[in-house]
Amino acid sequence: MIINKSTWAPMAVLLITAISLPALGMQDQARADQSTAVMLILRGIANSENPRGQLDDGAALEFARRLGFRGEVLDVAGETRARSPQVGMALDRIHQDEKVAAIYGFSAGGYNVRRIWKELTAEERERIGKVIVVGSPGVARTDFPGKAEVVIKEDPPAGHLAGPKILLESLDGEPAAPRDAAKLTTLAPASSAMSSAGGTPAVRATLSYGSVGGSRNRTSRDVIARQANRAVKRVTRAKRTARSSRTTD
């Protein structure tokens, strides 16, 4: 079998299209992530099983997604002191990124949300449109003066750690925000070095998929990638056959 120009042209178009589609899909997803408002999520205190803080991450992230936010978990335990690493990281994030428009605190993280609010400027408080505090007795709506929508949830009968899951289940029956995909972004201290701006620890972002929407988007890209791989293999086999035919002739 000899591949002539009329045979090669359609195969080349197929190959180029199959290779280009995944890249276009990833670019669209990146643009969607960049334009989505962010909800910062603060964990509770650490224990032996959860050295970076206690929280049902999945429930908190899904709660953020259902409200139309991209959830970002600060990967550090909550410590109830004014200049804890969690407070410093959250303030640094809010000061530097205008997409941060909501904040969610569980247990000790809820007390730190109250501390953080006191240190925000009037403009930043205006931007933070939603404050969620779960399992932090003593924190009240009056601790957050301004225009933010404040949700305070006490511990449910199921126990302290069940708070985030019960809060998520309270949304059942309400329409989810129109989001095709969401990512879990875990912010962790990059090192012990301090940032030059405010003396808070520098941070780095580690991305991983953490929602149903994100899984759907990842699956569609996997399908496209498999199609591209099959197209490449078909072209390779055709070229080998052509070389073999020429050798035989």
**DSSP string computed for 94-106:** HHH-TTEEEEEEE
Higher-confidence residue of 5 and 87: namely 87
| Backbone φ and ψ of 97, nearest 5° | -130, 110
Torsion, Cα of 93, 96, 100, 105 (10° steps) = 20
Higher-confidence residue of 113 and 222: namely 113
Confidence label for 8 from pLDDT (cuts 50, 70 and 90)? low
**How far from 159 is each of 50, 104, 135, CA to CA, in Å?**
17, 19, 9
- How many domains, in total, are found in the chain? 1
Structural domain for 200, as ranges: 33-213
Confidence label for 240 from pLDDT (cuts 50, 70 and 90)? confident
Is the pTM here over 0.75, yes or no?
no
In a domain, 177, yes or no: yes
In a domain, 2, yes or no: no
* Residue 188 belongs to domain with CATH number: 3.40.50
In a domain, 12, yes or no: no
In a domain, 63, yes or no: yes
In a domain, 228, yes or no: no
| d(C-alpha 59, C-alpha 162), whole Å | 10
CA angle 159-165-169, nearest 5°? 120
Torsion, Cα of 45, 47, 51, 52 (10° steps) = -20
Average pLDDT over residues 121-126: 94
